[in-house]
Structure 1
Amino acid sequence: MTAVSRVAIVGSGVAGTAAAILLAEGGVHVDVFEQKPDLSTLGSGITLQGNALRVFDRLGVWERVKEAGYTFDVLGLRAPGPDAQVIAQIPDAPTGGPEYPATLGMYRPDLARILADRATELGARIHYGTTVTSFTQDPDGVDVTLSDGSTGRYDVLIGADGLHSSIRKQLGIETEPQRTGMGIWRAFVPRPAEVTHTDLYYGGGVYIAGYCPTSDDMMYAYLVEPAQDRHLLSPEEGVEVMKELSRSYGGPWNEIRESLGEASRVNYTWFTKHVVPDAWNRGRVVIIGDAAHSCPPTIAQGAAQAAEDALVLSELLLSRDAIDQSLWDAFHARRLPRATQVVEASVQLGQWQIDHEQDADVPGLVRRIAMLVSEPA
């Protein structure tokens, strides 16, 4: 007999849907409560490293993800300027193991759809336009009150509700995401034929310019600048800003710049960092994914770490016959040190750019994290 028979999950992002898939597969009654009215997902593209792909295989969605995305095994470095000289092409570490590509890019809403479809196929119920407004707990379970006024009782409540997690706040956890000093412009654009992997351009008009193919036809492009308030800009103004910032970069950026327009879904967000430094649970309520930790996308590990949280938590809930302190201790021992190292490394890479650090051991830091995440969570 498993420790849980009924679980409520708040949030339908990677962490929430991954947990829903694994728990529903294990015979648990799962209700996912998502505040958004539908499956719509902000963003253009996402870069997934091999350790994320390894988890997606466990979720039973790897073939769908591979079909929807674009795989590659090298990382390119180019110089800013009109010639966009190729400085190096570096083999990317296959952190998921030799059976998976090192990296996959895909359209972020496609990933959301694949995960949600898999969860519902296995019997999980996703309730859109609904969230948990309050909860109380006792030694045997958690009583939740929903935004539609209804109530329910569950063995465990999982807060997978993102950076500004309501569940985290209701638990009284004071750790909040902090800005790192960088902001990122992203756009979804047609893929130039010469783009077959991610290229990064360091320096020039912004800290970092880059792109990642997401399919045979499309990719997302991004520019990382000093963080500033861009929220009052209209979509049309955002396109013009991105065009102007990209003028320091040649090569594929010439074609990217010409293709930027209304259909590019240009958006701007700040880089943030946080790790809840102690227990991620209070009793039978636990937070995972961006609710528990966030990092800049400098090592492309955000989704991977969220998926790993879900994998480890679900494994423990399904393999134990009681929800006790030993379960939570095992969860934190496997997740807190690993997530902390990833966050700290991601922040350090960005800080070296902010400080214009010339002697930083970027390859050494990236290699260390690749070795860490190559080991299964």
Structure 2
Amino acid sequence: MTAVQKVAIAGAGISGLAAAIRLAKAGVRVDVFESKPELSALGSGITLQGNALRVFDALGVWDEVRSAGYPFEGLNLRAPGPGAPIVAQLPDVKTGGPDYPAGMGMYRPDLARILLRAAESAGAVVHWGSEVTGVVTRDEDAVEVQVNGEPAGEFDLLIGADGLNSSVRGLIGIDTAPQPTGMGIWRSFVSRPAEVERSELYYGGPVYIAGYTPTGEDTMYAFLVEKAQDRFGVDDEDAVRIMLEESLAYQGPWESIRRDLADGAHVNYTWFTQHLVDAPWNRGRAVIIGDAAHSCPPTIAQGAAQGLEDALVLTELLEERAVLDQRLWDDFHARRLPRAQAVVEASVQLGQWQIDGDREADAGGLIFGIAQKMAEPA
């Protein structure tokens, strides 16, 4: 007997679908409300650390994810300038344990399709073009959800997994919001040169960080991290031009990336943000997880993993307990808040060291320390 029988989930992103899979498999009726009209086919790549892969295994989708992605071990650091020499080859901590690769790159829309298929196969119902617009707690045992301004029914629980600009977060009275960190990132999905077998980063030159991560046998995503600027009105042609110009200081595989950019590869731009909602993440029988509850720069590539862990821990507790009570919420926050806080603080610190140009900072030590923490199951 699970603690809930009927659950609404706002958001069909990684965290929301992960929660939907686990709950639906446990026999819970799950309705997922997604404001977008359909699953987006757009996107670049995503880097998944071992602790994220461990969650996929617990959800029963690891084989599919592994087949669609590009597993790798380690990280290369290259120098800008002629030849882009490799100056360091760093080992990765296997944060998922010995049964999983240290990391994996993947085309983000492929991951979304795998998770959606698994959720629907388990019995979850996904409602597209459906935004949660109201949350009303009638009593201690139920929450009424409004979608697109109309009643959608009463549920035992509402999970707000509706991303960075979460509607549910505001609807339940949490005013913490993402704040810019001072960095912006250009991303593009491009072809993979055979020499790229793991993530590679270039520090120095005209931007804070240049890099790329393989996502498949023939694909990878490339990125440039710059000082945050108002780039959001830039058209596709200018976006490509800017990424071409800012990458000229980087050679090696960047030569191939520039050819793809010149041939019309799609480019997108976002700002890095950071926020962490203090406990509790719930208000009665409504709770936020994933990017709704915390965000950070992808400087240690733990964002997706933390959202997946939120979903796994919450659904694990709901599945093993008979009632949804304060003890369950206390256990959830005790397992999730310190871990998410450590990731957010470390990720922001790494970015700030780049902004400050602090050459004495022990970035390697900080990254290794967080990786050691993540190697312990959530």
Tell me which residue corresponds to 1:100: 100
Tell me which residue corresponds to 1:299: 300
Once the two structures are TM-superposed, the CA of residue 354 in structure 1 deviates from its matched residue by 0.3
**Equivalent-residue separation in structure 1 for 2:218 and 2:325 (angstroms):** 50
**Equivalent-residue separation in structure 2 for 1:270 and 1:350 (angstroms):** 12
8 Å contact 2:9–2:30 — kept in the other structure? yes
Tell me which residue corresponds to 1:355: 356
**Equivalent-residue separation in structure 2 for 1:327 and 1:310 (angstroms):** 14
Amino acid at match of 1:242: M
**Equivalent-residue separation in structure 2 for 1:261 and 1:8 (angstroms):** 44
Amino acid at match of 1:237: D
Structure 1 pair 284–217 and aligned structure 2 pair: CA distance change class (3 A): same
1:58-85 deviations in Å (ceiling 9; x for gaps): 1111111111011110100000112201
2:94 counterpart SS class: coil
1:3-49 deviations in Å (ceiling 9; x for gaps): 10000000011110000000001110000000000010552000000
Amino acid at match of 1:90: L
Tell me which residue corresponds to 2:371: 370
Using the size of structure 2 for normalisation, the TM-score is: 0.98
Once the two structures are TM-superposed, the CA of residue 185 in structure 1 deviates from its matched residue by 0.2
Tell me which residue corresponds to 2:5: 5
8 Å contact 2:3–2:324 — kept in the other structure? yes
8 Å contact 1:78–1:86 — kept in the other structure? yes
| 1:109 pairs with 2:109 | yes
8 Å contact 1:33–1:131 — kept in the other structure? yes
1:247 counterpart SS class: coil
1:137-152 to structure 2, matched below 5 A, reads 137=137, 138-147=139-148, 149-152=150-153
**Equivalent-residue separation in structure 1 for 2:71 and 2:146 (angstroms):** 43
**Equivalent-residue separation in structure 2 for 1:116 and 1:64 (angstroms):** 12
Tell me which residue corresponds to 2:224: 223
**Equivalent-residue separation in structure 2 for 1:264 and 1:374 (angstroms):** 36
8 Å contact 1:35–1:130 — kept in the other structure? yes
**Equivalent-residue separation in structure 2 for 1:86 and 1:304 (angstroms):** 28
1:326-376 deviations in Å (ceiling 9; x for gaps): 111000000000000000000011000000001111111011111111011
Structure 1 pair 34–262 and aligned structure 2 pair: CA distance change class (3 A): farther
**Equivalent-residue separation in structure 1 for 2:108 and 2:223 (angstroms):** 14
8 Å contact 2:144–2:151 — kept in the other structure? no
Tell me which residue corresponds to 1:251: 252
Structure 1 pair 10–41 and aligned structure 2 pair: CA distance change class (3 A): farther
Amino acid at match of 1:334: R
Amino acid at match of 2:13: G
Tell me which residue corresponds to 2:49: 49
**Equivalent-residue separation in structure 1 for 2:88 and 2:117 (angstroms):** 40
2:32 counterpart SS class: strand
Once the two structures are TM-superposed, the CA of residue 91 in structure 1 deviates from its matched residue by 1.3
1:1-377 to structure 2, matched below 5 A, reads 1-40=1-40, 42-137=42-137, 138-147=139-148, 149-261=150-262, 263-377=264-378
% identical aligned pairs: 64
Amino acid at match of 1:55: V
1:144 counterpart SS class: strand
Amino acid at match of 2:102: A
**Equivalent-residue separation in structure 2 for 1:148 and 1:123 (angstroms):** 26
**Equivalent-residue separation in structure 2 for 1:106 and 1:283 (angstroms):** 36
**Equivalent-residue separation in structure 2 for 1:324 and 1:154 (angstroms):** 15
Amino acid at match of 2:326: Q
**Equivalent-residue separation in structure 2 for 1:300 and 1:30 (angstroms):** 29
8 Å contact 1:236–1:262 — kept in the other structure? no
8 Å contact 1:236–1:261 — kept in the other structure? no
CA-based RMSD of the aligned residues comes to 1.0
The 10-residue stretch of structure 1 (7-16 or 131-140) with the greater mean CA deviation from structure 2: 131-140
Using the size of structure 1 for normalisation, the TM-score is: 0.98
Amino acid at match of 2:154: R
8 Å contact 2:133–2:149 — kept in the other structure? no
Segments of structure 1 that go 5 or more residues without pairing to the other structure are: none
8 Å contact 2:134–2:149 — kept in the other structure? no
Once the two structures are TM-superposed, the CA of residue 313 in structure 1 deviates from its matched residue by 0.3
Amino acid at match of 2:331: A
2:150 counterpart SS class: coil
The number of residues matched between the two structures is 377
**Equivalent-residue separation in structure 1 for 2:185 and 2:109 (angstroms):** 19
